[in-house]
Amino acid sequence: MRFVILTHVIALLFLAACRASAEQSALPLPTTAAVPTRGADLASAEEAARGFLDAWRIGDFAEMHRLLTFRNRELTPLDEFRAAYQSAQDQLTLERIEYMPRNLSGDARLLTLQYDMTFHTRNLGRFTDAKRSLHLVMDPQAGGWRIAWSRADIFAEMGEGARLVFEAQVPSRANIYDRHGVALADQNGRMVRVLANNARIPDRDVCFQLLAESLEVPLAEIEDLFNLRSRSHWLVDAGLIEPDVFIKNNDLMKVYCGAEFRQQPTRRYVHGALLPHVIGHVGYPDATEIPQLEAIGFNAETIIGKSGVEESMNDILAGRPGGRLSLVAPDGARLRALSEVPSRIPESLWLTIDAGLQAEVARLIQQGYASSPWSAGSSGASVVIMDVNNGEILTMYSYPAYDGNILNPFPTTGRAQAAEGLQVIVEDERKPLLNRTTQGAYPTGSVMKGLTAIAALESGVYDETTRYNCTGSWAYGTDVRYDWLRGGHGIMSVQTGVTNSCNPFFYQAGFSLNARDPWLLPSFGRLLGLGKLTGINSIQEVAGILPTPENVAIYTGLPWSYAHAVNLSIGQGEVQATPLQMARLYAAIANGGYLLRPHLVRERGILDQRTRVAEREVMVDAQLKPANLAIVRRGMCDVVNSYSGTAAHQFYISPLLDIGVCGKTGTAQVPDEDDPPHSWFIAYAPAKEPQIVIVTMVETAGEGSAIAAPLTRDILEYYYFGAR
């Protein structure tokens, strides 16, 4: 009778093992041979084995430890037991496990479960460790079956002292080029890695002192690295030194440390100060970034993008590390490879930027600051050039700039020079790290009049026939405001109001819009991208400020009134915009009313196998009437071409007149009345079939027609005619 019952139990266990893997951990364990013990004992053994493996599956190390023999628990306390499994899981980058029982065999004192374990990992994919053995013994002190545990239950070879070793294959960071293939960032910087065999250092005291000096770290840190954090037989990676330090000390390090040296490429910005605000820089991860990096195979020593395109496109530039996880014997011999995955090849980037154009813009701005009277009171400037038809940024320059190399962990300039350069940046009150094109928010002055003209025409408050007599002042009750031209401009239309930049004309336009609906002018500002991010994504930006009846009290403490609309109509008061926002707004005027997403990255790929990144993306179709756009455009073209245009005197002998340039000057008052105004000029060209829009903004420098306009002219002449 006993035999019949036992045979029935064995049959049930075997059938259960064949069920779906999703249920396997909750099923009875199969046997392939008769086990000379009672059915109740077999069930108890099954329960202990299943409980141990299920607890591992959910990471309950305390429950696993409870199921060990009394002697095992004494020899391996819970903290040590937990640390062993946690260390293995960290090396594996374990996400989950599955197990499949195969057979149960043994006698009344010792049973062995043979099973397969499948490991699902983040970095190594999925692999199966087959024919594993789990031993169970009848433990009198526990009163039942318990796991006779050793480190072999993690992996068999670990029972003989083997350890898990992950040999990472970290790909070299990819390059960044301009739109024409000019290298901007590469891995051609050089550092030297110092390694020393911990067991074969001829003179530890002298060696450690020498390494501390060469690596510029405290002596205690070197001693801790070799004596506490590294085993006696390890080849220790001491760190990276600069090439000049290597030349000076390599012979001494060979003698006293028995050192070996390996070259290591590091990040280099070929034209360091040309595009630091766009490209950004690299560095070590912050503590908050490390878990996410470790989850994909990197570590705390990984160099990642910290700002600019380096940061926003880090995953593409860095690729994904691969590697091999092996069980390695105490003598260093590799016993078994558990899993191996190839690295994901990094992809280079081709920016939309034209490096040659960017360099000329930088030269012209720097020349202005070196030789112009207005430079003494100006803290900075910016220039943005954008393709009006697809949103590609051809130039994005912010002054003052800085050498991006000095922010890298291993600067090609050398650490001493980099430290000096960094100190200069920190102490510079002009804030060189600020990207003025996207993070500088300014009152716009008269370049806002293009928007006001659009709002007046599109709303129907004004039309092509509307006239207003600019007498030199505008008044509403006791509120009297003046034109920049004493005596005024006479009879003005929307078109001539733009051309002459007549303040009273636009005061009245703002007043009339507000009288019709206080939201009219702010709504058109929002429609054309003011007060919100442009969506450039590749670099950081600010939204600026667009005052509305809803939010104006936040900035002024007062409710909305006609005065806010009148201020907004000429770009004064609370309104603030970035040069990129204004470039986007005027690109919409030039291209028919399409507000485009700006792009800085054009292509990605490996060698000639490239994929397009920058695609034309219309974020808003403002659906502006062509006739209204034509009025504003004619007014802008006359700014440059008509004798009364505010910038005509800067272009009257320029060859650009043959191409046709349309623009708008802006002179924005700043809160401090003692400071000169901000100088703006925005233009698009060619006049008939616009290709580009350019925004030049010079802080506290003077009138837009006097400062920003001639700078814009010189940049456009280079763009269309080359160096002259």
Q: Return the sign of the alpha-carbon dihedral for residues 162, 163, 166, 167.
A: negative
Task: Report residue 38's pLDDT band, with 50, 70 and 90 as the boundaries.
Answer: low
Q: What is the pLDDT of residue 230?
A: 79
**Could you tell me the two tokens for 587?**
């690109």
Q: What is the pLDDT of residue 420?
A: 86
Place of tokens 């701005």: 365
**Could you tell me the two tokens for 519?**
């939201």
The length of the chain is 724
Task: Report residue 14's pLDDT band, with 50, 70 and 90 as the boundaries.
Answer: very low
75, HSE (Cβ side, Cα atoms, 13 Å): 9
**Range name among 303-312, 323-332, 688-697 with the lowest pLDDT average:** 323-332
Architecture of domain 438-721: 3-Layer(aba) Sandwich (3.40)
E strands, 140-228, in order: 144-147, 163-169, 176-177, 183-197
Residue 22 in this model has a pLDDT that exceeds 50:
no
The class (CATH top level) of 176-351 is alpha beta
Q: Which helix (H) or strand (E) holds 136?
A: strand 125-139
Q: Which of 233-242, 416-425, 556-565 has the highest mean pLDDT?
A: 556-565
Residue 123 dihedral angles phi and psi, to the nearest 5°: -100, -20
For 483-508, the three-class secondary structure string (H helix, E strand, C coil) is CCCCCCCEEECHHHHHHHCCHHHHHH
521-545 average pLDDT score: 97
Reported as a single tens digit per residue, the pLDDT across 178-190 is: 999 999 999 988 7
In the beta sheet, which residues pair with residue 594? 621
Q: What is the pLDDT of residue 235?
A: 79
Cα first-last separation, the chain: 109
Domain 2-161, CATH homologous superfamily name and number: NTF2-like; domain 1 (3.10.450.100)
The H-assigned helical ranges of 231-331 are 243-257, 276-279, 290-294, 308-312, 314-318
In whole angstroms, what is the distance from residue 243 CA to residue 584 CA? 46
Q: What is the pLDDT of residue 724?
A: 67
Domain ranges within the chain, ordered by starting residue:
2-161, 176-351, 438-721
Task: Report residue 17's pLDDT band, with 50, 70 and 90 as the boundaries.
Answer: very low
542-570 average pLDDT score: 96
Question: Model-level pTM?
Answer: 0.81
Reported as a single tens digit per residue, the pLDDT across 660-676 is: 999 999 999 998 778 89
131-145 average pLDDT score: 93
260 Cβ partners below 8 Å, 6+ apart? 194, 195, 196, 235
Task: Report residue 5's pLDDT band, with 50, 70 and 90 as the boundaries.
Answer: very low
**Range name among 1-5, 87-91, 367-371, 598-602 with the lowest pLDDT average:** 1-5
Reported as a single tens digit per residue, the pLDDT across 150-173 is: 999 999 999 999 999 887 777 889
566 Cβ partners below 8 Å, 6+ apart? 476, 481, 507, 510, 511, 514
In whole angstroms, what is the distance from residue 460 CA to residue 464 CA? 10
Q: What is the pLDDT of residue 39?
A: 54
Reported as a single tens digit per residue, the pLDDT across 582-596 is: 999 999 999 999 999
363 Cβ partners below 8 Å, 6+ apart? none
Reported as a single tens digit per residue, the pLDDT across 388-430 is: 999 999 999 999 999 999 998 888 777 778 788 888 998 999 9
Q: What is the pLDDT of residue 15?
A: 32
In whole angstroms, what is the distance from residue 316 CA to residue 331 CA? 38
Q: What is the pLDDT of residue 710?
A: 98
Residue 20 in this model has a pLDDT that exceeds 50:
no
Q: Which helix (H) or strand (E) holds 563?
A: helix 562-569
pLDDT-above-70 percentage for the chain: 94
In whole angstroms, what is the distance from residue 436 CA to residue 698 CA? 10
Mean pLDDT for the chain overall: 90
In whole angstroms, what is the distance from residue 197 CA to residue 220 CA? 19
